[in-house]
Amino acid sequence: MARAAVFDVDGTLADTNHLHVTAWWEAFRQAGHRVQTHAIHRAIGLGAEDLIERLLGSERDREQDETISAAHKTLYGTYFERLHAFEHAGRLLRTLAANGWTVVLATSADEAELSALRRAIDADEVISATASADDVEARKPAPDPVLNALELAGAPAEGSVFVGDSLWDMKAGSRAGVTCVGLLCGGIPRADLEAAGAAAIYDDPADLLAHLDRSPLGGSGPRGS
């Protein structure tokens, strides 16, 4: 039976969260809103619509939403050629694939952004599929993106693992019935990730790789058994 290793991308495999914070902060500023960066950081990992809702509230002028989202997309796009993966992110994915895991990405990035992220990670040969938030009705923290990733991998929730860096990742994975692994490199405190459902926590991909045998991703998957 297949086992899926599902990975969030931003803040988990690629060092991009603070770039997103900066782009969102400027997009809000251009629209006349003063939003504190720490609040934006806590919302990173939500889809654009949910992020704007969380930060501006339900009584906001919703006619601005599309403009703010488009501004963020344009501003963030200026970083595409400079995106960096965390150390050993690609090596982690290649090791898992060699151990028999089916590696799937779960991301809300559009095609251009995802291409830039995958270039930075440099492990395309072992990524079996990418689950896009656009393919589901509900985004994180709903379980839909993780369930979609499992479907693409042909793997059940039992025995599969979701690795992410945000509260929304942990909540989505828990609701999907998979084991959740949290990474601190996205900037969310350990206690918050644990409270949201993380079964194990590591500093970053390199730390997870160094302790892989004792992690929920330890051992060999079906093809390596």
Domains of the chain: 4-16+84-224 (3.40.50.1000), 17-78 (1.10.150)
pTM metric for this prediction: 0.95
Interval 32-41: pLDDT, tens: 999 999 999 9
Mean pLDDT of 109-125: 94
Residue burial 1-16, b: 16+ Cβ < 10 Å; e: rest = ebbbbbbbbbbbbbbb
pLDDT above 80: residue 219: no
**Scanning the structure block, which residue is given the tokens 């899926």?**
4
The average confidence (pLDDT) of the chain is: 95
Mean pLDDT of 129-154: 91
Q: Please give the pLDDT value at position 141.
A: 93
| Residue 66: both structure tokens together | 């599309």
Interval 62-83: pLDDT, tens: 999 999 999 999 999 999 999 9
Instruction: Give 43-83 as a DSSP string.
Output: HBTB-HHHHHHHHH-TTS-GGGHHHHHHHHHHHHHTTGGG-
Q: What is the largest CA-CA distance in the chain?
A: 57
| Residue 35: both structure tokens together | 């939003």
Strand order from edge to edge, sheet including 102-107: 127-132, 102-107, 4-7, 161-164, 179-183, 200-202
**Scanning the structure block, which residue is given the tokens 């297949």?**
2
pLDDT above 80: residue 223: no
With a CB cutoff of 8 Å and minimum separation 6, the contacts of 77 are 112, 113
With a CB cutoff of 8 Å and minimum separation 6, the contacts of 139 are 46, 47, 50, 108, 133, 145
pLDDT above 80: residue 221: no
Of the chain, the percentage scoring pLDDT greater than 90 comes to 91
Q: How confident is the model at residue 220 (pLDDT cuts 50, 70, 90)?
A: low
Q: Please give the pLDDT value at position 224.
A: 33
pLDDT above 60: residue 161: yes
Interval 118-129: pLDDT, tens: 999 999 999 999
Residue among 112, 100, 86 at smallest CA distance from 8? 86
